[in-house]
Chains A and B, each alone.
Chain A
Amino acid sequence: MSLDLRKTDLWFNIEAMPALCLYFQVHQPYRLKPYRVFDIGKDRNYFNGTNGNLNNQFVLRKVAEKSYLPTNRILLELLKQHPEFKVTFSLTGVILEQFKEFAPEVLKSFQDLVKTGRVEILGETYYHSLSFLYSMEEFAEQVDMHRRTIEKVFGVRPQVFRNTELIYRNDLALAAEGMGFRGILAEGADHVLGWRSPDFLYRPRGTKKMGLLLKNYKLSDDIAFRFSSRSWEEWPLDTGKYGSWINAKQGNAQVVNLFMDYETFGEHQWEDTGIFDFLRALPGELLKSSNNCFITPSEAMTLFKPVAELDVPHYVSWADVERDLSAWLSNSMQHDALRALYGLRERVLASKSYDILDAWRRMQTSDHFYYMCTKWFADGDVHKYFNPYDTPYDAYLSYMNVLKDLELRLASGKEEKRAEALATV
């Protein structure tokens, strides 16, 4: 993607900024249907659930109507209205597939946004997977697969990388640099930054030319999580108040990174909370001050020199209060399921079966492991809200049963005797 910087005034006000970098994550997994022990060896359709929130088509249509379509309309208006306005998306391969299958008009509306030339698309793993944690080869293949898909669908090449759920560590930045990315995104977690501010460009430890943008989680979560919370002392939040918080950063920030799930608009925060009006008014409010401007991550790499190297030896992510891997990897079910999944890689590839490979990769989507999370007592409401299964145990059980079926299919091209297969479980 090439954004023409000459069309903007960016060069003239770098000193007084903050620039605003808005990035929205667009993703829906292929959820596994309730898959019983008795289905093993009999049913190869793992993703065609029909009930409620395990019906992928139903969920996608619902989110499209409530969030993607209306928000895309608003953004297109804003892009027309404000020549300075820019936004960035990351769309997973699995949601692009679902758009194609269930809601082609949504895909078109994203393409229309990209055509404005002021919408950047990031790179990530096609399957929104945790592959970086388990298999470097698998990770590289999925990043490449995603890059090719984005080029095909949008005609642009991602320059900046974001890993699943903003999971990040030093060696990830090195890997992304090796794959030709110029920059990378991460959570601006306190335990990573210490006294430092998230509002500057950093250099990932050990990289040569990479830039690292960090999410300002306070200002991001004010919109994504707290916007409609009546117990929040700042409720109700309007753009005037929010703009004053941004303006207060003038002179001591390069770029304020507002990163959030795109479903914030209309799905997590419903229309009646006023979230759409807020979004509609935000660019105009921020652009009242001539010092503010909007940039995309690749522009940030061009505009700024990293202020310092940042050392992140341990994984951080944007999930939960812990901002670590515990949302996907804290109990033995999650560890077991991931181990079993990635343990099949060699055999899956050797099978040369597209169906098996595709199913196996869809099962890598991080959401499956999030659904198995038992951290319910601290920040459980969020997990429960996002879990289409009754309990983490139901999620794990269906998952493992499907894996068993995949294993059976790998073991032999033909159907196995069910009872015999289970005896070895």
Chain B
Amino acid sequence: MFGWELPPFNSGGLGVACFGLSKALVARGSKVIFVLPKKQPIKADHLKLVFAGDGIDYLIVDSPLSPYLSSESYDEEYGNLDSKKQRLYGANLFQEVERFAQLSRAIAARERFDVIHAHDWLTFGAGVGAKEVSGKPLVVHVHATEFDRTGGHNINEHVYGKERWGMETADRVATVSGFTKDIVTSRYGINPDKVEVVHNGVEMSADPRRKVGETTLAFKSHGYSVVSFVGRLTIQKGADYFLRTAKRVLEVNPRVIFIISGSGDMERQLIAEASYMGIGDKIIFTGFLRGEELAEVYRASDLYVMPSVSEPFGITPLEALIEGVPVLISKQSGVSEVLKHALKVDFWDVEEMANKILGVLAYPPLKDTLGEYGSAEARGVTWDKAAEKCLSIYGKLTSGLT
């Protein structure tokens, strides 16, 4: 299995997904060799970890690599590194991807395996390389496409080309949703018969404590409700729609606090916009959070909102539901395919989003029912189901060979 990142060295959902899926595959009796582009002190006892950078002096700190970087922002980050570190990385993201692909061939020649599984375009080159060396079938797994990342504007032709080439070369394509399958077939021209939907799962939180932070408790004691957003502050995640919705909600019900948790290239713009709208005092920007701090944001919320413009899957609503918090999600998301007990809106429909938020805050049974049934539903969205689906794909591919 070729991946680009694993927790805790992840910048988003891709690493979480790779970790969850591989763990569930191992639990079902598979052996997984997980190949990463660079060495990191990752604790994953269930996996045999292989680093493409093994044997070479690679430093991990200040890595400019992230699956969510555009090539432009890679260049910028790379320029910020000192010269010693610059030598350790390719001069741009594409070179780095290319380096990974080259190194993977040696790994494929050395290791023994039955199926190759590569996650997202950054690893497609590595996957195809391994296929060429070993002759084993290749599954490419699409967690996000260039159309999601850019909101459909300024598609990077190089990335698009890599994605398309990977999917065409692969024996099978797995997508994290029907939503993404549609993009893969309509925008990349991939034969739908070759594409299988493997919905993501969610890790149960091991800690059932329902601790809420003191700040939010103070707000609540003054009769305020809390509505939250968690995600990178980029076009794709629709934080700007969240802000406009907040404005509309506050016109009717001023006793609401909105939490925006995450970082990204739109952060400054959003903060400025909130002040400009005159609602700066009702919006809390927390920056990027993980672990217990993130769970606290969920628990403090009366409602969690995911207004993504284009969301291949979207794990955060499931995380919120696991904490018992009801969710409002955009219809332009993969997770809306697996969640019935959620409020759903088109991301652009600010008026309806505000209507639903106001409804949840005004009518407690709405909040309670959504939370109760949604939580039960989210607990059924497991990585085990995803692993089962993958195993059936592997089974078809390998039986075809023997």
Which A residue sits closest to B341, measured CB to CB?
A374
Residues of A within 8 A of B342 (CB): 391
Check if A393 sits within 8 Å of B369, measured CB to CB: yes
Q: How far is the CA of A340 from the CA of B297 in the complex (A)?
A: 33
Which of A37, A392, A393 sits near B358, CB closer than 8 Å? Answer: A37
What's the least CB distance linking A402 to chain B, in Å? 12
Check if B369 sits within 8 Å of A374, measured CB to CB: yes
What's the least CB distance linking A117 to chain B, in Å? 50
Residues of B within 8 A of A335 (CB): 365
Check if B340 sits within 8 Å of A332, measured CB to CB: no
Q: How far is the CA of A422 from the CA of B365 in the complex (A)?
A: 17
Q: How far is the CA of A400 from the CA of B366 in the complex (A)?
A: 10
B267 at the interface (CB under 8 A from A): no
Q: How far is the CA of A335 from the CA of B365 in the complex (A)?
A: 9
Check if B251 sits within 8 Å of A336, measured CB to CB: no
B355 at the interface (CB under 8 A from A): yes
What's the least CB distance linking B243 to chain A, in Å? 18
Residues of A within 8 A of B252 (CB): 37-38, 418-419, 422
Q: How far is the CA of A419 from the CA of B340 in the complex (A)?
A: 31
Check if B344 sits within 8 Å of A37, measured CB to CB: no
Check if A419 sits within 8 Å of B344, measured CB to CB: no
A401 at the interface (CB under 8 A from B): yes
A425 at the interface (CB under 8 A from B): yes
Q: How far is the CA of A4 from the CA of B363 in the complex (A)?
A: 56
Check if B253 sits within 8 Å of A423, measured CB to CB: yes
Find residues 388-425 in chain A having any chain B CB closer than 8 Å to their own CB. 390-394, 396-397, 400-401, 418-419, 422-423, 425
Q: How far is the CA of A333 from the CA of B253 in the complex (A)?
A: 22
Q: How far is the CA of A335 from the CA of B359 in the complex (A)?
A: 17
What's the least CB distance linking B66 to chain A, in Å? 36
Interface centre among B343, B355, B356 (most CB of A within 10 A): B355
B373 at the interface (CB under 8 A from A): yes
Check if B355 sits within 8 Å of A336, measured CB to CB: no
What's the least CB distance linking A403 to chain B, in Å? 10
A245 at the interface (CB under 8 A from B): no
Check if B344 sits within 8 Å of A397, measured CB to CB: no
What's the least CB distance linking B50 to chain A, in Å? 42
Residues of A within 8 A of B255 (CB): 423
Given contacts A36-B352, A400-B359, contact A333 B341 (CB under 8 A): no
B368 at the interface (CB under 8 A from A): yes
Check if B365 sits within 8 Å of A396, measured CB to CB: yes
Residues of B within 8 A of A392 (CB): 369
A252 at the interface (CB under 8 A from B): no
Q: How far is the CA of A396 from the CA of B373 in the complex (A)?
A: 15
Check if B344 sits within 8 Å of A390, measured CB to CB: yes
A331 at the interface (CB under 8 A from B): yes
What's the least CB distance linking B73 to chain A, in Å? 38
Interface centre among A376, A397, A418, A422 (most CB of B within 10 A): A397
Interface string of A368-394 (1 = CB under 8 A from B): 000000101000000000000011111
Which B residue sits closest to A376, measured CB to CB?
B340
What bracket does the count of chain B residues touching chain A fall in? 20 to 34
Check if B355 sits within 8 Å of A36, measured CB to CB: yes
Given contacts A391-B343, A393-B366, A418-B252, contact A374 B359 (CB under 8 A): no
B370 at the interface (CB under 8 A from A): yes
Find residues 216-259 in chain A having any chain B CB closer than 8 Å to their own CB. none
Q: How far is the CA of A275 from the CA of B363 in the complex (A)?
A: 44
Interface string of B77-108 (1 = CB under 8 A from A): 00000000000000000000000000000000
Check if A397 sits within 8 Å of B251, measured CB to CB: no
Residues of A within 8 A of B365 (CB): 331-333, 335-337, 396
Given contacts A391-B343, A418-B252, A422-B253, contact A397 B359 (CB under 8 A): yes
Residues of B within 8 A of A38 (CB): 252, 351, 354-355
Check if B355 sits within 8 Å of A332, measured CB to CB: no
Which of A333, A419, A423 sits near B366, CB closer than 8 Å? Answer: A333
B362 at the interface (CB under 8 A from A): yes
Interface centre among B252, B342, B363, B373 (most CB of A within 10 A): B363
Interface string of A9-27 (1 = CB under 8 A from B): 0000000000000000000
Q: How far is the CA of A37 from the CA of B370 in the complex (A)?
A: 19
Interface string of B200-220 (1 = CB under 8 A from A): 000000000000000000000
Residues of B within 8 A of A331 (CB): 365, 369, 373
Which A residue sits closest to B362, measured CB to CB?
A425
Residues of B within 8 A of A333 (CB): 363, 365-366, 369
Q: How far is the CA of A335 from the CA of B352 in the complex (A)?
A: 25
Check if A400 sits within 8 Å of B363, measured CB to CB: yes
Residues of A within 8 A of B341 (CB): 374, 391, 393
What's the least CB distance linking B365 to chain A, in Å? 4
Which A residue sits closest to B253, measured CB to CB?
A422
Find residues 232-255 in chain B having any chain A CB closer than 8 Å to their own CB. 251-253, 255
Find residues 79-135 in chain A having any chain B CB closer than 8 Å to their own CB. none
A-B contacts, 14 of them at CB < 8 A, read A37-B252, A38-B252, A331-B373, A333-B365, A333-B366, A335-B365, A391-B342, A393-B370, A397-B356, A397-B359, A401-B359, A418-B252, A422-B252, A423-B253
Q: A392-B369, A425-B363 are in contact. List 15 more A-B contacts (CB 8 A).
A: A37-B354, A37-B359, A38-B351, A333-B363, A333-B365, A333-B369, A336-B365, A376-B340, A391-B344, A393-B343, A393-B370, A397-B359, A401-B359, A422-B253, A422-B362
Q: Return the 10 tightest CB-CB contacts between A and B, nearest first.
A: A425-B362, A332-B365, A36-B355, A336-B365, A397-B359, A37-B358, A333-B365, A331-B369, A37-B355, A400-B363
